[in-house]
Amino acid sequence: MLKNMKVLLAIVLFVAPYVAGHTETSDLEDNAYLKLEKLLFFKKRPNKNSLRVGSQDALYGYDGGSGTSNWDGVCASGNKQSPINFVPEETVAVYRRVLRFNGAQQIPHSTNITNSGHSIKIKLRTQKPITVTGGVFGNKVYEFQQLHFHWGKNVNEGSEHTTNSKRYPLEAHLVFYKADAKDPTTAPDGMAVLGVQYDFFRKDNLVLEPIIKSIRQIRNPGQYVVKPNGLSLREYLPADLDSYLSYTGSLTTPPCTEGVTWIVFSTRQTVSERQVSEFRTMKDDLGLNVEYNYRETLPLNGRQVHLVKSSERVVT
């Protein structure tokens, strides 16, 4: 009987995703769907409040027993965690060289849009790497990896970083790895994340619309769609790149690795309420809608936040 049940579960798990879209198998770090399959075969199905957290190989959630306050490991013990609350009066104004993007204007060969089980993740396949240097990075060069989104249950929440405790409805994270690091995930300055926040607006954001439409095809974790071409990375960035807040923090999801250089641009993009509501229709590893996926803000613990300004920029 147990053997037959396992066979039935295998059919459901491996065939169902293909009904609505592809199943992502090339990026196991984000594919918690495969880990759920293992749990189903070797132990009781986890409930929403009993997911184990604290490592890249673990499932995690945002509420109940699996919520952010119960994340362990560096998520609990670290003292340079992200996100944080920005207090403008406490920031230190500095002037730095311009941020220099290279390859950001490229139209990608293809755009991969994936339901990671926690967010919607975008990868761009381009002819040459997309890099950023200058600004707070100095001469260090960071190469673009992927971007993903964080949202909330209603119009008053969603962004991970806050300003005077105010949240915005959506925040995009553009993840970069240091180009010359042997293992960027363990190097002290191996990762950088550029944050773009969104204000509500009555009209849809046309840049986000291809992503919004794709969500309907990738409701379940591990599913993805590959679209020919797509938008350049520059389209996801605000028009003004000359002013931003920067500090040293961490990844905002387990394993919450520290040593991440953060940039959160001062200029925000816009998003409609309808578009944010579509993000909430994607499902997590337990088949439940991801109504929100932001982490609460963490203490600064003596860290300094810089308001960085530059006089010009270079984007190619």
Provide, rounded to the nearest whole percent, the portion of the chain with pLDDT above 90: 75
Q: What is the pLDDT of residue 119?
A: 98
Tell me what pLDDT residue 310 has.
86
Look at residues 190, 182, 159 and name the one whose alpha carbon lies nearest to residue 261: 190
At 1, the pLDDT band (50, 70, 90 cuts) reads: very low
The SS3 call for residue 298 is coil
Q: Give mean pLDDT, residues 38-51.
A: 32
**pLDDT at residue number 22:** 54
**How would residue 63 be classed by pLDDT, with cut points 50, 70 and 90?**
confident
The active-site residue out of 22, 109, 118, 150 is 118
Average pLDDT over residues 248-256: 98
At 19, is the pLDDT very low, low, confident or very high (cuts 50, 70, 90)? very low
- Given a cut of 60, is residue 70 above it in pLDDT? yes
Report residue 44's pLDDT band, with 50, 70 and 90 as the boundaries. very low
**How does pLDDT run across 292-314, given as a tens digit for each residue?**
999 999 999 999 999 999 865 55
Average pLDDT, the chain: 85
Across 244-260, average pLDDT: 98
118 catalytic? Reply is yes
* Domains of the chain, earliest start first: 2-315 (3.10.200.10)
Average of per-residue pLDDT across 174-194: 97
pTM of the model: 0.82
- 11 phi/psi in degrees, rounded to 5: -65, -45
Q: CB neighbours (10 Å) of residue 276?
A: 22
Per-position DSSP letters for 103-164, written without gaps between them: STTPPPSEEEEEE-SSSEEEEEE-SS--EEEEGGGTT--EEEEEEEEEE-SSTT---SSEET
Residue pLDDT, tens place only, 227-244? 999 999 999 999 999 999
Which band of pLDDT confidence, cut at 50, 70 and 90, is reported for residue 144? very high
Each residue's pLDDT tens digit, 273-283:
999 999 999 99
Q: What is the pLDDT of residue 67?
A: 85
Q: What is the average pLDDT across 92-96? A: 95
pLDDT of amino acid 64: 76
Q: Please, are residues 144 and 233 in contact by the beta-carbon 8 Å criterion?
A: yes
Euclidean distance between CA atoms 234 and 211, whole angstroms: 16
Non-local CB neighbours of 287 within 8 Å, separated by 6+ positions: 220
For position 46, what pLDDT does the model report?
Answer: 38
What does the pLDDT read at residue 312? Answer: 59
Q: Give CA separation, 61 vs 87, 153, 252, 292, in Å.
A: 28, 15, 12, 10
Give yes or no for residue 17 having a pLDDT over 80.
no
Who has greater pLDDT, 34 or 215?
215
* pLDDT category of residue 147 using cuts at 50, 70 and 90: very high
